[in-house]
Each structure stands twice: as C-alpha cells, then as structure tokens.
Amino acid sequence: MNTKYHVYLNYEERRLVIKSLNDLRNRLISEGKYTDLIDEVLVKVANAKIKKMKVVSKSS
C-alpha cells in the first residue's frame, strides 16, 4: 500500500526543513554516501505548493 502524508508548515518551519535536508545531503556527500533519497525529498519540499490556511484557536 502506498500511503501519502500531507504536512503543513509555516514559512519558518519550511525554511528549517530545507536547511536541515541540505545539511544532511552535504554531510552524506562528504562521507561519500548516496544522496538520492534526500535529493528527492528536498525537491518535493522546495517545489511544494504554498497553501494559505487560516488557523482558528479556541480558548477554553
């Protein structure tokens, strides 16, 4: 079964994910390891559509 997950990130979270993936990719390159999976995820995150959402917080 191929399950899809949707992750909603704000601008800062998206920036941190891209930076972290890039740091991991650079580390793997320096260790001489394959980066194919990281490259795929990095491209998906970088090219993901930006959807504006309204968040409503209910206080008790």
pLDDT at 54: 80
pLDDT at 60: 64
Q: CB of 47 within 8 A of CB of 19?
A: no
Q: CB of 34 within 8 A of CB of 28?
A: yes
pLDDT at 51: 80
pLDDT digits (tens, 9 = 90+) for 1-30: 889 888 888 889 999 999 999 999 999 999
pLDDT at 58: 82
pLDDT over threshold 80, residue 37: yes
pLDDT digits (tens, 9 = 90+) for 40-56: 999 999 998 888 878 78
Please give the angle made by the CA atoms of 12, 19 and 49, to the nearest 5 degrees: 60
